[in-house]
Every structure is written in structure tokens, then in C-alpha cells.
Amino acid sequence: MESATGKDLLSIVKSTEFMKNYHDLQWRGSFADYLAVVDRNPRVCQTAFQRIYNMIMSFGSSEYTEYKKKITRYKFFDDPIDKGKDAVFGSDIHLMKLVNAFQSAARRYGTEKRILLLHGPVGSAKSTVVRMLKKGVEYYSRQPEGALYSFRWVKKDLNDTRNIFGTALEIPSPMHEEPLLLVPTAARKELLKEINKKLPEDEWIVIEGDLCPASRFIYRELLAHYNGEWEKVLNHVSVERIVLSEQDRIGIGTFQPKDEKNQDSTELTGDINYRKIAEYGSDSDPRAFNFDGEFNIANRGLIEFVEVLKLDVAFLYDLLGASQEHRIKPKKFAQTDIDEVIIGHTNEPEYRKLQSNDYMEALRDRTVKVDMPYITKLGEEVKIYEKDYGGDRVRGKHIAPHTLEMAAMWAILTRLEEPKKAQLTLLQKLKLYDGKTLPGFTEDNVKELRKEARREGMDGISPRYIQDKISNALVNAGNAGSINPFMVLNELESGLKHHPLIKNEEQRKRFIELLTIVKEEYEDIVKNEVQRAICADEEAITRLCSNYIDNVKAYTQKERVRNKFTGRDEEPDERLMRSIEDKIDIPESRKDDFRREIMNYIGALSLEGKQFNYRTNERLNKALELKLFEDQKDSIKLTSLVSSVVDRETQEKIDVVKARLIKNYGYNEQSATDVLNYVASIFARGDIKDRTPPQQQP
């Protein structure tokens, strides 16, 4: 196959979305041209909150019901922009609350005057959510439905306007302001009334506030120069499409705490440009001021406050006016209007300080707190590690089945509160949260479990710690082609000796005990998989099922069974039926009920024109597999794996089991051999107890 030429590579670059849309994104026109754009699509004037809410909704959503509660999953948080790179898992309820806050603010119900505060333990995806929002609003501003515009002042008459423009030919709006702010306040009401005719009432466009000091100065001077002829002032206005960009400092700002000696409020609201004082003659001339603080450049978009509550009190005061009044106070200038989303994130110790500080009551009152706890659903936690350690990311190493699952299971157990119900273990509680069912527990019971746990998900092990230890296991595996759950669990345990966030020795011991629970659960899982691989003979299990059903039918109908070998009618084989029913803990006193249930189930299927299949009844399926395994395990002699001599016939049978593990369960040659050796050692020491409650169903 021929390699790509330089022209081929160039064509790949030219075909990208950036190159295709470049000219659309460079649109420039007069103020009248912009009014025509507004007439066609009034949403170009939407506020920052409207823009972010509409951006999230543009990716669509889906609904599902959990514990009788309807939950909306917003597809935006799957990160379709970057193919799942920053996807957020297991936080649908909390993200719903965040999106509801955006919706409320977009409709001007009051939340637009608040600071959105994401609150949770370290590693709970707070920063990821904000990063997603910044990335999303930048992407959205490049799309036709998310287009937005600003303007720049253009010198027309080199002589008459020299004092206004100085040496510059063009002066961009320093805060990327909405062009409709150029419309006099008295005329805006009628203009907006006409514009909003095309929009639903809850999406009406609202233009409030005034131009920034620099644009206001130029506007005022031009208006005086033309004796109040507003249309002539507009001749100096060139409207342009803008793209929000954190890198270019347009519409997206980030502020984080630094050393008190090296940080002052000018980083938020801008500072004097001393080089321009000589040109304009005064440090109070707005043209000699850089409106480039984080609040300034974030206008029309959003500003992120990293660990917001670690900021000095002086900076927190700036947040009060910015949130409630949508105004900031640059040095030596009047209050300046802003239109932006203010979102911060903090951990729990810092939030507790805020709650206990009476002087910060005003800030607390202006804050909408959205909790972002750790994930407490096993399946969702596993997705985090599958994203980071999937086949595309980890090359040259095989991660054995259940490795990521066991690490995630331990992480979840550290975050759960002990159940108050005496008969319920912590592991069973984890499984209930993950959607499994247990006898005697309904959806209402699970809902009650969640309600009674006040701090669940706010403490425990961070996903970052798990990721670090999985990485260690991969590195320490050396030339080994595979890592297994024990390698990762051992890394997790050894790391607890130096874990900086463990509060005391008692907590460390508890976490080690939870690792023991996870190891026992893994033992049950792999024993079950090997059992299934051994008895995966479809014909044998179908024959066993047919024999059992024939005997149950005869028993319930008080008939005899025809022996296929002797041709004689015999009594139902009680020994066979009980040997199967014992595998799923059906007591002697309930055998009749269970057998009638089976026959009623088969009868109901027959009335619907459906055929009975043992796989549709999970408990019966498990019982048949365990019975077949018991019948076959001695012939396979799995325990011989732990000895140095294996006869050819046994080895062939073991190879068949290994092939089934590879094909059906995702093992490779090495990990299948490892798990067979491990399960063989269990059988060799006679430890065949099945700890998994047979009644559990996925």
C-alpha cells in the first residue's frame, strides 16, 4: 500500500471542520447588517445563562426511572465533543440539579443572580464538569445555532476623529460586548418587543446594562462630534462574529488562588496601561485602562473560580456585586456591567469554614450549592476506569476480567455508610445500589437506604487513588503480559500506609477489612465463572433440564415417568429433583411450592405461544449449572492443575475450559491459566463454599 503524499496529508487538514467553517466565523458587517442577522435569529443576543443552557440541551437528553424517580440524563455530559474524554459518570441526579439552575437562570427566575458552587470531596469530577462547560460553550459558539457577535470601533476620518482614536485605526470592544448595547436605552424596549415576537415567552431576549467605560467614552465622544446624529456614530461600528475561547481569553475566564503577596483584585477587574497614559494624558482615561481582568474577558460566557473558598476575603467581596448586580468595579472607573456565569468549586473543609464564618453570610446567601459526591453505583464507577484503561489506552498489557471491577467495588465500599438493617451487609447494600435484587428488599427499601445515609459519597477513596494504583500494577507487572485483580488489590493495600487523606489508624484498618471482603467476592465470582465454563455443554445441560422438568411435571400431576432406557413407568426421581433444588437453597418444606411455580411458569408461556427455555429462569439456570458442575468436576480433575503431572485426557478437558474462558469471559491465555490455577487451589484445599446468595438476580 502506498504511503500518503504531502498533498494527501494537506487534504486531511483542509477537510477539518475548522477549515470549512473559518470564513463563516470571520463574518463582519455593519450595524444594519447585524440587525438583519438578529431578525433572522434572535438567539444570537441571548444571555450567558441562556447560551449555556441551550448548549446543554442542543446535545439532547434521555429519561429513565430509578427507585420510582424520573431522572434525566443529559447527553452533553457524555462528552460527545471529545468522544467521551471528559465524560462524567454516575452523577445524573446532581447534574440534573445543575442544569435546573441554568434553566432557572436562563428564564430569569432569580438564579442568574447567584454564584453556582460545586461542592464535594476531592476527585468527585467538579473540575471536570466545569471543564466540560467551558469546552461546550466554546464549541457551541462555533455552531450556527450558538453564534454570537461583538463589535469594534473603526476610524473613518483621520483628522476629525484623531483625538478619539489616538493612533489606533480600530479599537475592539474590550469586553466583547453585545452590539445591541449601542441602542439607546429609551429605544431598546420597542426594539426588543419586535425581536421577541419570534421567540417563546420563556426565551425572550433581554438587553440590560451599559457599555464598558472605554466603549462608552468613544460612543459619547462620537455622539458629540456628530451633534447627536446616532446613525453617523454607527458608521464607526463594525460588527463581527466572535468565538468564545479560553486560550484567546474571549468569553471564558479562570481564576485560582495564589500567594497573597502576588495577587490583587486587578487580576479580576483589570489595571492601568501605563504605556498609554502618555498618549491619552491621564490614568483616568478609560482608553488607558486594560479591561483584561478575568471578569472582563469572561463577559458573554463564564468564569471559573478554582477552589473559590480559598480566596482571600477581599476577592470574595468582588463576587458579591458580580453575582447579585452583574457589575464589577474597575479601579478609578464607575461600576461596569457584565453578563456571565460565575461558577466555582470547593471541597468540604473549605465549605465548612464558609458556614462557620458569620462575616461571609452575604456570600452564602448568594450561592447556589450543587453537591458532587463520589459515585456510589458500581457499574458507573467501573466506567471511569474502563475509559482510562480500555484497550485503546493500555497496549501491550492485558487487564484480566474483574480487575477494574474489584478496584471499583472497594472504592464504593469505602464511601458507603454501614446499613442500619442488621440483616443487610455492606456488600449487599452495594449490590442493591447497583440495581441487583435481594429477597425481602423492594425499590422503596433501597430508596429508604439512600435517605437514611446522610453523608454517603462525601467520604471515602477518590478515583484518583484507584487510577494511581492501577497504573502502578501495570508498571510493576514488568514483562508479564497480564495483570489480575490481586495485583491491583495488593497495590491498593500497600498504598494505604502512606495515604495522605486517611484520617486515623481506625479508618486504615476498616479499609483493609473492606479489601478482604472484595477478595472473597472475587473468589466467588471466578469460581462461578470456572463452574460455568466447565458445564457450558449446552446439550448436557438441556438434557438435565428436560429430565428435571419431566420429573417435576409427573410429581405435580401425580403421574409416573417413562424411563427412556428401560421403557418402564417409574415414580418421579425425588433424588434428582432435590439434588438440583438444593443448589439454590430450596428447603424440603418449600419444594412443592417451587415445583408448582415452575409448572405455572411453563403453562403461562405456553398460553402466550412461547416455548420454555431454562435460561429465562435465572434461579433454575444457576441450579442446573451447579448440578452439572458437580457431576463433571471429578471427571475433569481440575485439582490436578496444582500438581506437576497432568495426564493428556485431563489436559485436553482443561484446555476446553480455558478456551471457553477466553471466548466467553474475556480472558487471554495467561489470565485464563492464572484463574484456573487459582480456582484449582481452592478446590484442592476443599474450599468449595459458595458465598454468593443464590437468590441474587441481576
pLDDT at 643: 52
CA 551 – CA 240 distance, rounded (Å) = 83
What is the average per-residue pLDDT within 205-228?
Answer: 92
CA 252 – CA 231 distance, rounded (Å) = 32
503 with 459: CB under 8 angstroms? Answer: no
Least confidently predicted of 275-279, 446-450, 562-566: 562-566
Kindly state the DSSP code that residue 250 receives in the 8-state scheme: B
pLDDT at 522: 94
CA 394 – CA 373 distance, rounded (Å) = 28
CA 408 – CA 376 distance, rounded (Å) = 10
b/e map 148-170, b = 16+ CB within 10 Å: bbbbbbebeeeeebeebbeeeee
pLDDT tens for 68-107 read 889 999 999 999 999 889 999 999 999 999 999 999 999 9
Give the closest residue to 620 by CA, choosing from 640, 596, 594. Answer: 594
- pLDDT band of 234, cuts 50, 70, 90: very high
CA 341 – CA 368 distance, rounded (Å) = 12
Q: Which of the two residues, 148 and 533, has the higher pLDDT score?
A: 148
Least confidently predicted of 42-56, 331-345, 549-563, 611-625: 611-625
Cβ neighbours of residue 81 under 8 Å, at least 6 residues apart? Answer: 135, 136, 139
Q: What are phi and psi of 673, to 5 degrees?
A: -65, -45
- pLDDT band of 693, cuts 50, 70, 90: very low
380 with 335: CB under 8 angstroms? Answer: no
Look at residue 684 and tell me whether its pLDDT is greater than 80.
no
Name residue 369's beta-bridge partners. Answer: 117
pLDDT tens for 632-683 read 665 555 555 545 556 676 777 778 888 888 888 889 888 888 888 888 777 7
Look at residue 223 and tell me whether its pLDDT is greater than 50.
yes
Q: What are phi and psi of 342, to 5 degrees?
A: -105, 115
- pLDDT band of 692, cuts 50, 70, 90: very low
Pairing of strands 289-290, 271-272: antiparallel
- pLDDT band of 365, cuts 50, 70, 90: confident
CA 442 – CA 199 distance, rounded (Å) = 46
Residue with cell 427455555: 613
pLDDT at 488: 94
pLDDT at 344: 92
- In this structure, what C-alpha cell is assigned to residue 344? 466555582
CA 177 – CA 41 distance, rounded (Å) = 18
Q: What are phi and psi of 150, to 5 degrees?
A: -135, -165
Tell me the three state secondary structure of residue 404: helix
pLDDT at 361: 82
- In this structure, what C-alpha cell is assigned to residue 338? 457584565
CA 61 – CA 529 distance, rounded (Å) = 37
Cβ neighbours of residue 629 under 8 Å, at least 6 residues apart? Answer: 531, 532, 534, 535
Residue with cell 460455568: 532
Tell me the three state secondary structure of residue 379: helix
Give the closest residue to 673 by CA, choosing from 535, 526, 538, 532. Answer: 526
Look at residue 406 and tell me whether its pLDDT is greater than 50.
yes
- pLDDT band of 382, cuts 50, 70, 90: very high
CA 198 – CA 40 distance, rounded (Å) = 9
Domain spans in the chain, listed from the N-terminal domain onward: 378-532, 536-635
323 with 315: CB under 8 angstroms? Answer: no
pLDDT at 125: 92
pLDDT tens for 265-280 read 788 999 988 888 887 8
